[in-house]
Amino acid sequence: MLYHVRMDVRVPHDVDPARFQALKAEEKARAEALQRAGTWRHLWRIAGAYANVSIFDVADHDALHAILATLPLFPFMEIAVTPLARHPSAID
């Protein structure tokens, strides 16, 4: 199944800057691994926000949740998930 996922990162002001830098590096590595695996199909930054819009290709809702929960920045994210279905007018 395909999912449209918006992730907004909300970092508390009291987070240790060094720890946050390490988490961002871990997040990048995890995102790249999921993209290489074909699970995280598309990833776009939202201009002007610490947020992204992504397309995930996973088996079901539970699989998506399990993957999102592995993201190092997950505890700091507000996530909105929209399951996608093929449009009857799509040509590809």
What are the pLDDT tens digits along the chain (92 aa)? Answer: 999 999 999 999 999 999 999 999 999 999 999 999 999 999 999 999 999 999 999 999 999 999 999 999 999 999 999 999 999 999 98
Q: Please return the burial class of 40, using the count of CB atoms within 10 Å of its CB with bins 0-12, 13-18 and 19+.
A: buried
| pTM to 2 decimal places | 0.92
How many helices and strands (H and E) does the chain possess? 2, 4
CA distances from 26 to 31, 32, 73, 87 (A): 9, 10, 9, 36
Q: What is the assigned CATH class of domain 2-84?
A: alpha beta
Distance CA 88, CA 51 (A): 30
Tell me the two tokens of residue 90.
């799509």
